[in-house]
Amino acid sequence: MTFFVFPPPAPTVLPVSGGGLFPVRRVFCVGRNYADHVREMGNDPDREPPVFFTKPADAISTRPNIPFPSATRNLHYEGELVVAIGKEGAEISTGEALQHVFGYSVGCDLTRRDLQAAAKKGGQPWDMGKAFDFSGPVGVLHPAKEIGHPATGALTLSVNGETKQQGDIAQMIWSIPEVIASLSTYVRLAPGDLIFSGTPAGVGPVVKGDRIEIHVDGVATHVFTLV
């Protein structure tokens, strides 16, 4: 008889506006997708294409209270548009890419900037800077059949009511269809996959007790507090 040696974990889920739960499979993130953020991190947006990295599915959390992570003295927020994949595919063309999108939300790519900087300097993986527990707070998912496929819209992030990031998703170096097409040359995208699409300029540190609000016009708002 085959049996689990311990109970398998419950899937990570996102609530869907209008009803239902979206089971999260994998989490892909785009680095360096807004030119002004590429510059603030000391890179050249004209010569360096966006890079992909990942977070584990269980880093995603819709909780209003997010535990402040261990092992960092410089936790940064990155407000981002999050794309939810609803249909599998590999080698997807830009023309067909949006057919693979279930919907959209907003999220925060929480980053241990000190660990990421040390990893970059040493030519080492970013994982412990990016892929830790609760590193991906995300809001309610809004189906494309409800909100369409937004290509423009203000993206703002505030900390304790003070605006820190003010961009527009139209400023992405790689558009959402281009991100999906590129990513699908590396992996077969599947229903449940999330894509964090990158952050505009204005990233910075947060501390325990800070309240972070992320908004993309026409998509969603999400608020969480670091505890």
Residues that bind Mn ion (CB under 5 A): 78, 109, 199
190 burial via Cβ count (<10 Å: 0-12, 13-18, 19+)? middle
Nearer to Mn ion by C-beta: 78 or 193? 78
Q: How many C-beta neighbours within 10 Å does residue 16 have?
A: 18
**Please, what is the minimum distance in Å from the beta carbon of residue 87 to Mn ion?**
24
Residue 141 per-residue DSSP state: B
**Please, what is the minimum distance in Å from the beta carbon of residue 111 to Mn ion?**
7
**Please, what is the minimum distance in Å from the beta carbon of residue 70 to Mn ion?**
20
* Token reading at 183: 């990513």
**Please, what is the minimum distance in Å from the beta carbon of residue 224 to Mn ion?**
16
Closest CA to 207 of 88, 93, 69, 78: 69
* Token reading at 138: 């995300």
Residue 45, CA atoms < 13 Å, CB-side half-sphere: 17
Nearer to Mn ion by C-beta: 54 or 99? 54
d(CA 34, CA 151): 14
Nearer to Mn ion by C-beta: 32 or 142? 32
**Please, what is the minimum distance in Å from the beta carbon of residue 108 to Mn ion?**
9
Q: How many C-beta neighbours within 10 Å does residue 38 have?
A: 21
Nearer to Mn ion by C-beta: 129 or 143? 129
Provide φ and ψ at 158, rounded to 5°. -125, 150
Nearer to Mn ion by C-beta: 116 or 199? 199
